[in-house]
Amino acid sequence: MTGTKGAGPAIGIDLGTTYSCVAVWRPSHNRVEVIPNDQGNLTTPSCVAFTATCRLIGDAAMNQAAMNPVNTVFVYFNDSQREATLDAGVIAGLNVIRIINEPSAAAIAYGLDRMSNSGEAKTVLIFDLGGGTLDVSVISIDKGNFVVKATAGDTHLGGEDLNSRMVEHFVQDFLRRHKSNIRGNPKALMRLRTACERAKRMLTSTAQAKIEIDSLHDGIDFYGSITRARFEEMNMDLFRKCIEHVEKCLSDAKMEKFQIHDVVLVGGSTRIPKVQQLLHDFFNGKKLCKSINPDEAVAYGAAVQAATLSGEGDQKVQDLLLLDVTPRSLGVEIVPGLMSVLIPKNTTIPVTREGPYTTTFDYQTSVYFPVYEGEGEWTKDNNLLGQVTIWGVPPQLAGMAQLRITYEVEANGIMKVTVMDLTTGNKSSVTINKGGLDKKEIKSMAQYAKKCKTEDRKEINKIKKENEQEIKRMAKMKRILPAAEKYMPEDKKQVKKIKKENEEGWLSKEEMERTVKKKRMLPDAAKNKSEDKKQAKKIKEETEEGGVELLSKEEFERMVQKK
């Protein structure tokens, strides 16, 4: 989300692995508006392509993919990924005021029009299955308060995984039918993946989908089909894994199925009938909530939260309060290999927790604490975020030093760790080294992005100018066509042919008339030429048969004319 009070519009950005979406809060109308891209689409492919001459983004980049195959975040984004998202926003020239999790944003979109004044609280389960990830959250909604109870998910489970199964199915089919393996042909695989994506979407509304790709590999045209039943069969293990994450989320929230009032579907992959059926059955026949657009819900909710934080919204929006949670447990390594948790998973943020620690060896003057996130008891099973070191500890026996670690998590999910020696008062606050960008790098990249934006604008203006010239040529051609229609019926085919041959630069009216006239004369000229050849051949044969001397060139031509 970007924007501060009085500094510009409050927008929400849904950064998806396959598609992204942007929405803006309109203060004059007190509502959210999803912003279309330059193609008029409300979602944009999360894809960038680089050609020899330019940079392509979104739909244009997706179209390029077959030729060159080689600010919400997901709940399970780790701290490094969140920092990278913030850096990207700064480089793009945005003032990022908050990063929120996708299900939390979707819950805001769901709850904004359902906030009850009666004081009745609702508990909803947000099931967000996108192109690359699965996020599940249990959220309590009480008037304007949104409290996340628990989260679960998988950063490697989404619609693309379903596509990959279908691609493999047709690769095997192609190999069986044509005895040729396309795995070594990246372009063919990309074209097949695009076709499989279309087929998957068709299967949401039909029982069977067909695939037709001209010259897929080695000049072979490929035709295939797949039924919805076969698609569900090849992906059943992935569908069941989705339900396992729902069970885990409920368990972490310490809730039962019957305590969930609504199941809200978010993400394009929730349109798959089998996913809906499994959720319907799991919740004992509960009707699923499909009232919000699964592609736009996250951006919608993020825009509302941006309006809340920037002070742009009406009273209903200003009363919103979102309390998110930590998706993973946070802690430090106290003895080699062991994790000491300071902030358990699903703790409401922002939060600050402290813990007492000491030295492990005799006469230590410095203490090093690796910082981790994860659920494993052993640090090797968790994600290393960085390290915190305090120096100047008075040398003494192991276990005598009194140290305190303060672990702070901001509303953005960004973490800060401070170590303090209680004996001396010496304090060491260290920014966790996540391998991110420093301020100089961010500034340099922002300047480069600004330069690229200027160059892109020049390229866009150039394309617009070319389009204007093309429009003028088309208008000129429309003026010429009525005159061309006056020609004889037999000339109309010639007019059509000339028009096709001159698509890039249209002829003037006079040039068109001369060309058509010339085309009309050509058949007679060709006929005369053919008759002359026959006469020449006949004279030559007569001369040879009579045994006379061959004629000179001039005499030969006169005889042909006489004939």
Calpha distance 499→481 (Å, rounded): 9
**pLDDT single digits (tens) 2-49:** 544 546 788 899 988 888 999 998 888 888 999 998 888 999 988 887
Q: What is the token pair recorded at 135?
A: 């996020």
| Contacts of residue 168, Cβ cutoff 8 Å, sequence gap at least 6 | none
* pLDDT in the model for residue 530: 56
DSSP label of 71: -
Regarding predicted confidence, which is higher, 236 or 442?
Answer: 236
Q: What is the token pair recorded at 440?
A: 């100089």
| One-letter identity of residue 346 | N
CA atoms within 13 A on the CB side of 452: 15
DSSP label of 395: P
Q: What is the token pair recorded at 239?
A: 């569908």
Cβ-in-10-Å burial (0-12, 13-18, 19+) of 519 comes to middle
| One-letter identity of residue 175 | L
Residue 109 has pLDDT above 70, yes or no: yes
Q: Which CATH number fits domain 11-158+237-323: 2.130.10.10, 3.30.420.40, 2.102.10.10, 1.10.10.60?
A: 3.30.420.40
**pLDDT single digits (tens) 345-390:** 889 888 999 999 988 889 989 988 899 988 888 988 888 888 888 8
**pLDDT single digits (tens) 55-93:** 777 777 766 655 444 456 555 566 667 777 777 777 777
Asked if residue 127 lies in contact with residue 292, where contact means CB atoms within 8 angstroms, the answer is: no
Its pTM surpasses 0.85: no
For residue 69, cis peptide bond before it (omega within 30 degrees of 0): no
DSSP label of 356: E
Q: What is the token pair recorded at 289?
A: 């909530």
Return the percent helix, strand and coil in the chain, to nearest 5. Answer: 40, 25, 35
Tell me the three state secondary structure of residue 121: coil
| Contacts of residue 161, Cβ cutoff 8 Å, sequence gap at least 6 | 235, 238
Calpha distance 242→329 (Å, rounded): 22
Instruction: Give the model's confidence band at 240: pLDDT under 50 very low, under 70 low, under 90 confident, else very high.
Output: very high
* pLDDT in the model for residue 229: 96
DSSP label of 326: -
* pLDDT in the model for residue 91: 75
| Contacts of residue 324, Cβ cutoff 8 Å, sequence gap at least 6 | 100, 101, 104, 148, 348, 349, 411, 413
Asked if residue 301 lies in contact with residue 105, where contact means CB atoms within 8 angstroms, the answer is: yes
CA 47 to the chain's CA centroid: 6
Q: Region 530-553: what's the mean pLDDT?
A: 54
Instruction: Give the model's confidence band at 552: pLDDT under 50 very low, under 70 low, under 90 confident, else very high.
Output: low
* pLDDT in the model for residue 95: 82
Asked if residue 516 lies in contact with residue 487, where contact means CB atoms within 8 angstroms, the answer is: yes
Calpha distance 210→173 (Å, rounded): 13
Asked if residue 192 lies in contact with residue 127, where contact means CB atoms within 8 angstroms, the answer is: no
Closest CA to 305 of 411, 402, 460, 226: 411
Residue 404 has phi, psi (to 5 degrees) of -130, 130
Calpha distance 139→142 (Å, rounded): 10
Tell me the three state secondary structure of residue 366: strand
330-430 has CATH 2.60.34.10 classification = yes
Residue 541 has pLDDT above 70, yes or no: no
Asked if residue 58 lies in contact with residue 39, where contact means CB atoms within 8 angstroms, the answer is: yes
* pLDDT in the model for residue 227: 97
Calpha distance 515→504 (Å, rounded): 17
Q: What is the token pair recorded at 304?
A: 């509302």
Closest CA to 137 of 240, 264, 292: 264
Beta pairing, strands 366-373 & 208-217: unpaired
Buried b (16+ CB within 10 A) or exposed e, 276-297: bebbeebbeebebbeebbbbbb
Closest CA to 263 of 125, 166, 454: 125
Can you spell out the DSSP letters for 485-527? TTS-HHHHHHHHHHHHHTSSSPPPHHHHHHHHHHHHHHHHHHH
Q: What is the token pair recorded at 115?
A: 């906030």
Calpha distance 563→559 (Å, rounded): 6
**Which of 141-150, 272-281, 499-508 bottoms out in mean pLDDT, i.e. has the lowest?**
499-508
**pLDDT single digits (tens) 451-484:** 666 666 676 667 667 767 776 776 666 666 565 5
N-to-C CA span, the chain: 92
Q: What is the CA radius of gyration of the chain?
A: 35
Residue 510 has phi, psi (to 5 degrees) of -65, -40
Tell me the three state secondary structure of residue 190: helix
Residue 393 has phi, psi (to 5 degrees) of -75, 130
